[in-house]
């Protein structure tokens, strides 16, 4: 293949993948040769090669074929000398980049401890965050916060950052999402600034990485994360991590990283309960009242919302915003009736009923067994335990009676169901794995 043809394929790929993907992933490729249907490219790192192969491989082959090239496979070879390495004299520029980099992701000024409402479901996480924010000697490292969407993980992390910056302005506090960490890592690789990258991350006093579940499966980013992590822990620097699930539950995360993440303090933000939701609504309503001084809100509306909108606080806030904007627009009081009209979609979504069938499906997926084996007659423990978990969840999450549940489990007797439910109730307090499974499944079913 001539460079000319490859140039035209590149143009086509730019159009197909967009400028952003193109400059991140395709530009670093250097075409080497084409023999026996295999097109070989030089890449700066294995990571880029793997990523391109997984995400853009088909498209590259497609466009090569379209331009008359007989290619059915791509091969990527790491070849560091493939591109011009910048001369040392160009180095000073790196300094300014590095200074910019330290800024991290912007912090939301509203996410402080003052605006965080504490209730039973989040009191442990809050207490741990407070402790870390005091900036004393590092007692638990890392602090690992986990919980479902919209339960306040990011809010708590920002609150820690605000507090630390206020108490000790000299501390270098870096907050960023796992995706940003990944992006910087890849950019550093591409621009050959790995030394700067390493230095930057190893020079922080407090590192916060939000939503680390997103680095699962990204091998070389994980590797770098692990090294950064160890270097900081060894240097007695505080690390705070968040994820949507417990370290052990993050798929495609290396075992050594999992165990590293577990060796500090792992705290769970539980789904909100009625009291917490009401507390949050009450604390926010003053703010909205000041934004919309003309709007009145009737008694009972906040209680109604706290009952009817499920766990996600972001949805709860969105509901308030909409109510105030709408009431102000139509010049009416926020009554129960107006609330029902204005939020019918949100209320319906939260009203969703979970069925026994959905529970069976989710549970069998979770334990990796066939649905037919869960419902069928086999009594081996591999099937019996998941079956009991599903029975327990069906009893908890639906309004079905024990005989009704029994019927849906292959016509089992209601005493069998009752036995299963009791067994899981027992195990739940004895076996933390079962407790975690139940929590995870319940969350997944409530979504
Ligand atoms: P997560 O990162 O867990 O998905 P966020 O921290 O982004 O959730 O929270 C979602 C929204 O809900 C934010 O606006 C946040 O301020 C608010 N929020 C969550 N929990 C609380 C709480 N306990 N008190 C006050 N606001 C909260
Ligand atoms: Mg978040």
CATH of the domain at 262: 3.40.50.300
Closest to 335 measured CA to CA, from 287, 289, 300, 285: 300
**Which protein residues are within 6 Å of ligand 1, measured from CB?**
111, 115-117, 122, 147, 149-155, 280, 313-314, 317
129 and 254 share one domain: yes
183 and 235 share one domain: yes
Alpha-carbon dihedral sign for residues 405, 410, 413, 417: negative
261 and 284 share one domain: no
Ranges assigned E (strand) in 230-365: 238-243, 265-269
Asked, for residue 94, whether it belongs to a domain, the answer is no
What pLDDT shows up at residue 416? 95
Residue 148 CA: which ligand 1 atom is closest?
3
Spatial distance between the Cα atoms of 25 and 341, rounded to a whole number of angstroms:
48
Asked, for residue 115, whether it belongs to a domain, the answer is yes
Asked, for residue 91, whether it belongs to a domain, the answer is no
Show Cβ contacts of residue 321 under 8 Å, excluding neighbours closer than 6 positions: 288
Closest ligand (CA of 110): 1
With 0-12 CB in 10 A as exposed, 13-18 as middle and 19+ as buried, what is 433? Answer: exposed
CA atoms within 13 A on the CB side of 319: 31
Asked, for residue 93, whether it belongs to a domain, the answer is no
DSSP 151-206: SSHHHHHHHHHHHHHHH-TTS-EEEEEHHHHHHHHHHHHHTT-HHHHHHHHHT-SE
120 and 41 share one domain: no
Asked, for residue 248, whether it belongs to a domain, the answer is yes
67 and 106 share one domain: no
253 and 285 share one domain: no
Asked, for residue 319, whether it belongs to a domain, the answer is yes
Instruction: Return averaged pLDDT per consecutive 10 residues of the chain, 447 residues in all.
Output: 89 86 84 91 78 84 91 83 35 32 73 95 95 87 93 96 92 90 86 86 90 83 84 89 91 83 91 91 90 91 87 87 91 93 78 84 94 91 94 88 94 95 90 87 78
Residue 116 CA: which ligand 1 atom is closest?
24
With 0-12 CB in 10 A as exposed, 13-18 as middle and 19+ as buried, what is 8? Answer: middle
248 and 116 share one domain: yes
CATH number at residue 329: 1.10.8.60
* Centroid of ligand 2 to alpha carbon of 115 (angstroms): 16
286 and 251 share one domain: no
* Centroid of ligand 2 to alpha carbon of 211 (angstroms): 7
What pLDDT shows up at residue 3? 82
Q: What is the pLDDT of residues 281-290, one digit of tens each?
A: 999 998 888 8
What pLDDT shows up at residue 271? 87
Nearest protein CA to atom 13 of ligand 1, as residue: 314
Spatial distance between the Cα atoms of 126 and 115, rounded to a whole number of angstroms:
12
Question: Which residues lie across from 177 on neighbouring strands?
Answer: 210
176 and 297 share one domain: no
Record the pTM. Answer: 0.62
What pLDDT shows up at residue 82? 37
List the structure tokens of 259: 């165990």
Domain boundary among 327, 350, 373: 350
**Domain extent at residue 428:** 356-446
What pLDDT shows up at residue 98? 34
260 and 406 share one domain: no
Asked, for residue 86, whether it belongs to a domain, the answer is no
Ranges assigned E (strand) in 233-360: 238-243, 265-269
Pocket test for ligand 1, best of 155, 178, 267, 277 (most atoms within 8 A of CB): 155
Domain boundary among 207, 237, 268: 268
73 and 163 share one domain: no
Closest to 32 measured CA to CA, from 63, 76, 65: 76
- Report helix, strand and coil shares of the chain as percent, to nearest 5: 60, 10, 30
List the structure tokens of 331: 């010049």
Closest ligand (CA of 158): 1
Within 10 Å of residue 66's Cβ, how many Cβ atoms?
11
Closest ligand (CA of 155): 1
Pocket test for ligand 1, best of 158, 314, 318 (most atoms within 8 A of CB): 314
With 0-12 CB in 10 A as exposed, 13-18 as middle and 19+ as buried, what is 58? Answer: exposed
Domain count within the chain: 4
Spatial distance between the Cα atoms of 61 and 38, rounded to a whole number of angstroms:
10
What pLDDT shows up at residue 214? 85
258 and 153 share one domain: yes
Nearest protein CA to atom 5 of ligand 1, as residue: 152
Asked, for residue 216, whether it belongs to a domain, the answer is yes
Domain boundary among 245, 268, 291: 268
């Amino acid at each position: 293949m001539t460079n000319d043809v490859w140039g035209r394929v590149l143009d086509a790929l730019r159009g197909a993948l967009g400028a952003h993907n193109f400059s991140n992933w395709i530009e670093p490729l250097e075409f080497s040769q084409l023999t026996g249907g295999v097109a070989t490219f030089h890449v700066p790192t294995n990571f880029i090669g793997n990523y391109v192969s997984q995400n853009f491989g088909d498209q590259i082959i497609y466009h090569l074929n379209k331009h008359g090239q007989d290619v059915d496979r791509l091969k990527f070879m790491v070849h560091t000398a493939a591109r011009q390495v910048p001369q040392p004299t160009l180095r000073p520029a790196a300094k300014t980049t590095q200074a910019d980099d330290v800024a991290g992701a912007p912090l939301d000024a509203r996410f402080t401890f003052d605006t965080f409402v504490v209730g039973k479901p989040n009191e442990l996480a809050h207490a741990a965050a407070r402790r870390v924010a005091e900036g004393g000697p590092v007692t638990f490292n890392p602090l690992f916060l986990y919980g479902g969407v919209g339960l306040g993980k990011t809010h708590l992390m920002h609150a820690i950052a605000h507090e630390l910056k206020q108490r000790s302005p000299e501390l270098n506090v870096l907050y960023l999402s796992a995706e940003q960490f990944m992006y910087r890592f890849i950019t550093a690789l591409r621009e050959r600034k790995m030394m700067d990258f390493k230095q930057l991350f190893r020079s922080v006093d407090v590192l916060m990485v939000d939503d680390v579940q997103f680095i699962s499966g990204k091998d070389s980013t994980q590797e770098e994360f692990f090294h950064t992590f160890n270097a900081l822990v060894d240097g007695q620097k505080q690390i705070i991590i968040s994820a949507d699930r417990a370290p052990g539950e993050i798929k495609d995360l290396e075992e050594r990283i999992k165990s590293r993440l577990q060796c500090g303090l792992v705290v769970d933000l539980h789904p909100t309960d009625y009291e917490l939701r009401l507390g949050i609504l009450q604390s926010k309503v003053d703010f909205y009242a000041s934004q919309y001084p003309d709007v009145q809100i009737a008694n009972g509306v906040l209680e109604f919302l706290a009952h009817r909108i499920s766990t996600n606080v972001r949805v709860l806030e969105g509901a308030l915003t909409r109510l105030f904007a709408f009431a102000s627009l139509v010049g009416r009081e926020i009554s129960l009736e107006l609330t029902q009209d204005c939020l019918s979609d949100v209320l319906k979504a939260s009203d969703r009923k979970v069925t026994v069938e959905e529970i069976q499906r989710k549970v069998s997926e979770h334990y990796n067994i066939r649905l037919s084996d869960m419902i069928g007659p086999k009594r081996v423990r591999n099937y019996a335990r998941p079956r009991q978990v599903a029975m327990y969840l069906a009893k908890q999450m639906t309004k079905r009676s024990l005989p009704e549940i029994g019927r849906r489990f292959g016509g089992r007797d209601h005493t069998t169901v009752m036995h299963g439910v009791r067994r899981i109730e027992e195990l739940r307090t004895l076996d933390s794995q079962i407790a975690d499974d139940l929590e995870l499944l319940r969350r997944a079913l409530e979504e």
